Amino acid sequence: MSTDRDVNRIVRSWLEEGVSALPDRVLDTVLDQLPATPQRRAPWPVRRFGEMNSFTKFAVAAAAVALVAFVGVTLLPRSGGVGVPGPSPTSNPTQTPSPTKAPSPSTASNVNVVGNFVPGTTYVMRDSCCTPPGGISLSVPGPGWFTIDSVILGKNVLGDPDLYDIYLSPHHPGNLYTGGCNWRGTALDPPVGPTVDDLATALVAQAGPGASPATPVTVGGHPGKKVELSIPDGLDVNTCDSDGDFPIFGRWYTGAMLNFSAAPWTYGDAQHNTVYIVDVDGTRQVIDTMFLPGTSAANLAELDKVVASIRFESPSASSSPSP
Amino acid sequence: MDADLIGRAQRGDEEAFASLAVAAGDRLHAVAFRILRDTDLAEDASQQALLTIWRDLPQLRDPARFDAWSYRLLVRACYAEGRRTRRWAPNVRLLPANEPEVAEGLSSVVDRDQLERGFRRLSIDHRAVVVLHHYLDLPLDEVADVLGVPVGTVRSRLHHAMRGMRAALEADARPATREAAQ
């Protein structure tokens, strides 16, 4: 009779056999894809304010106060300038287009801020993954908005402290998946064209029967289209293909990310996304917003106000910050 | 793994990541091959895992956990390859452990084909535990950490996997023994 130790020894010996070296061509393929594979910051709040120790809370609070003071001192003298709380923006960006294309000034201290956003302060998201070169400036109308990675701005409104329940995030979709829940291995062929209308039309077609047509919209003074997308009723998103971390109802991917990553991120069944597709001086820019069923009208209005506050900064603004 | 390299790669330094990939690529591929038992699938899983590591590296808060974290991503990639190809039965097929014992010891009948067949009967879940524990020599609590499951689950999977391997080996040995006796 053989013992367990015999089996362990035999299996261990057998496991030692076989290939060990990763072929160079595989490594080369990986390295070749790095430029087209943006790194991803955590799309979920792993560690929130409430979990910090007292010292950390104090430090973050002090930093926030300093930031507010700095921005206030810097911007208050400008009549009607960025950072001065003014009249509330409109609640619906589709109804009241922003009047100008003038870029908002940015300072080094308000670019890619991570943490809680102070209402009335203008922040800039700037990342080659998903924003114009100069970045996207925006502000929040009330407390509770935060970001942990600088390119997803969200809020907990349904009581789940670990997930954004509403969010806004910039994207640069490359092509669409056709599979939805089972997105791996699917891609629009031929790929979606380069214009705003190309993407809007394709997203509506992807959504299938009953989808609303794309509607005209103006964001940050730039024309575009708005598309409303919902995960089909009754679909358990936990059954969808995963991107490695979470199941996702996949609609688009970026660059060479086919079968590797999908967007927009999925946070729950029946999630609704309003996707703004904007022509920013000839370049297509997507602003994805999301909310889950049960989100209050007041919070949806806040989300609209954040979108209405968006300005697309010129590249020169990023290289020559305003004082 | 070099914490400085990891830190630089987390900040988007592609050269630093290339060094990391060179350093980690062989062991990741070795593990992938041992779990999947297929060179092509293992290459796909390794490639997928390395790209995922690059993509998600900014989320790794403790560079000291790079190895365990990278194994976790690799095992996930192996799951994905397994689901995509479905070249094997997805569930464990355990043979009765109380079958009559063969007279001879395992060492006389074991060959690579028998081990291969026995291992391929295991699910990816069970293979991963066997490889992480018996190939990488990770203690069970570290295997649990890599897989994100309780230690008890790891212990149970390992027990069932090794019992399945043993039963398969002995079952495969039986016809040969019978033929030899005839």
Measured between CB atoms, which of A15, A26, A42 is closest to B131? A15
Cross-chain CB nearest to A22 (options B10, B26, B131):
B26
- The answer to whether the CB atoms of A31 and B84 lie below 8 A apart is no
What's the mean per-residue pLDDT of chain B?
Answer: 78
Q: Tell me, what's the ipTM?
A: 0.80
- Whether the predicted pLDDT of A295 surpasses 90: yes
Determine the average pLDDT of the residues in A276-283. 96
pLDDT of B85 over the 70 cut:
no
In tens, the pLDDT along A161-204 reads: 556 789 999 998 989 999 899 998 899 999 999 999 999 999 99
Q: Which residues of B63-80 are buried (b: 16+ CB within 10 A; e: fewer)?
A: beebbbbbbbbbbbbbbb
More confident residue, B110 or B59: B59
Whether B165 and A11 lie within 8 Å, measured CB to CB: yes
- What confidence score (pLDDT) does residue B179 get? 38
- Interchain pair B30, A27: CB under 8 A: no
CA distances for A16 relative to A33, B9, B36, B112, B134, angstroms: 31, 31, 15, 12, 9
Question: Would you list which residues of chain A are within 8 Å, Cβ to Cβ, of chain B?
Answer: 1-2, 4, 6-8, 10-12, 14-23, 26-27, 29-31, 33-35, 37-42, 46, 149, 184-185, 242, 244-245, 260-261
- A chain contacts of residue B17, beta-carbon cutoff 8 Å: 31, 34
- Point out the residue among A1, A15, A34 whose CB comes nearest to the CB of B135: A15
How many whole angstroms separate alpha carbon A159 and alpha carbon A7?
A: 51
Task: Please report, to the nearest 10 degrees, the dihedral formed by the alpha carbons of residues A186, A190, A193, A197 taken in order.
Answer: -70
Q: Percent of chain B at pLDDT above 90?
A: 36
Q: pTM for the complete prediction?
A: 0.51
pLDDT over threshold 50, residue A129: yes
Cα dist from B114 to A10, A290, B111, B162, whole Å? 11, 53, 6, 14
**B162 to chain A: which residues are within 8 Å by CB?**
4, 7-8, 11
Q: What percent of chain A has pLDDT over 70?
A: 69
Taking alpha carbons only, the member of B120, B26, B135 closest to residue B82 is: B120
**Mean pLDDT, to the nearest integer, of A41-60?**
39
Instruction: Give residue-wise pLDDT tens across range A88-127.
Output: 333 344 333 333 343 444 555 688 776 789 998 999 998 8
Decide if A40 and B50 are in contact by the 8 Å CB cutoff. Answer: no
pLDDT digits (tens, 9 = 90+) for A141-163: 999 998 766 678 889 888 765 56
**Which residues contact residue B59 at a Cβ distance below 8 angstroms, ignoring those fewer than 6 apart?**
A40, A41, A42, A46
pLDDT tens for each residue of B21-67: 999 999 999 999 999 998 999 999 999 999 999 998 988 878 888 99
Q: Is B39's Cβ below 8 Å from some Cβ in A?
A: yes
Whether the pLDDT of residue A2 is over 80: the answer is: no
Does A30 sit within 8 Å of B29, measured CB to CB?
no
Q: What is the pLDDT of residue A259?
A: 61
Contact (CB<8Å) A41/B59: yes
pLDDT at B98: 39
Query: Which residues of chain B neighbour A11 with C-beta distances below 8 Å?
Result: 115, 130, 134, 162, 165
**Per-residue pLDDT for A223 more than 90?**
yes
CB-based contact B14:A41 (threshold 8 Å): no
Q: What is the pLDDT, as a whole number, of residue A254?
A: 78
Note whether B73 contacts A244, CB cutoff 8 Å.
Answer: yes
For the ranges A16-30, A139-153, A258-272, the maximum mean pLDDT occurs at A16-30
* pLDDT over 90 (residue B71): yes
What is the reported pLDDT for B177? 39
In which band, very low, low, confident or very high, does the pLDDT at A56 lie, cut at 50, 70 and 90?
A: very low
A48 pLDDT above the threshold of 90: no
* Contact check, Cβ <8 Å, B134/A26: no
Pairwise CA distance, residues A173 & A255, whole Å: 8
Lowest mean pLDDT among A200-204, A220-224, B166-170: B166-170
- The whole-angstrom distance between B28's CA and the closest CA on chain A is 8
Q: At what angle do helices B140-147 and B66-85 cross, to 10 degrees?
A: 60
Backbone angles phi, psi at B99, to 5 degrees: -70, 160
Question: Does the pLDDT of residue B105 top 50, yes or no?
Answer: no
